[in-house]
Structures are given as C-alpha cells and as structure tokens.
Amino acid sequence: MRKTCLALAAVALLAGCATPPPAPGSAASKVVTMGQLDDIEIGQMRVARENGYLTVNVALTNSSRSNQTLFYRFAWLGSDGFPVADEESWKALPLYGKQAKFLPAIAPTPAARDFRLEVHTR
C-alpha cells in the first residue's frame, strides 16, 4: 500500500511539472523554433487586417549582452490551416545586446487568415 501511494505521489508530482502546450491562438502557438534559439525572447504579437491583407508586428528582445542574429520566415496560412503563398526564404535580423525591436510583416495575399513564424539563431 505504501509503495502504491508513493508511486501515485511521484506520478502526480511529475505531471505537475510538465509544461502545458501553448493555448491555441496564443502568440506562443504561432512560433516554431527550427533549431536553436539563443537569448532571444519573442513577446507580444499584434495582428490586424489592413486593406484586406493580414499584418503582423512581433516584439523581440535580445536578453543577452552580446549581439545575436535571428533568422526568421513567415508561413502564411488560409482558413483551412494550409499555406496560401509560396514558402518564404530565410531572413536575417541582427539584434544588438539587450536590444528590443519590432518585426513587422504583411501577408503576400489577401487569402491569408493566419500565420506561423519560424525562427532560429543558428
């Protein structure tokens, strides 16, 4: 009995430590790390529709004192969750030590209803 109680307590403790997946529609659910992401924090995202096109503004912060280069690309998705535009090429964004910056983007087609931001530093 005692072993069973200890095993159940250990399972409950481990379950409490698990990181839950990001909530659907949250900023964290829009970001996919494609490799390493060192010392760059992705903050709030503002999404709007301007003249029929989806626009995004992403807050970025380099949390280290050294300069970093963020490599990123957007995947523009339709209402069914599938891409509505050609795959973008990777872009480089230098961030100086402790710098905060906004990353703006505009969908290439009015058919875009959602997006995914793919990032890495190396």
- Strand 53-62 versus strand 40-50 pairing type: antiparallel
Tell me the C-alpha distance between 28 and 30, whole Å: 5
Report the chain's mean pLDDT, rounded to a whole number: 86
pLDDT in tens, 55-71: 999 999 999 999 999 99
Backbone angles phi, psi at 25, to 5 degrees: 85, -10
**Closest C-alpha among 64, 55, 27, 52 to residue 42:** 27
What CATH number does domain 42-120 carry, 3.30.110.40, 3.90.1150.10, 2.60.40.3230, 2.40.30.30?
A: 2.60.40.3230
Q: Which pLDDT band holds residue 14 (cuts at 50, 70, 90)?
A: very low
pTM score above 0.85: no
pLDDT value at residue 26 = 64
**Closest C-alpha among 102, 47, 51, 104 to residue 77:** 47
Residue 11 reports pLDDT greater than 90: no
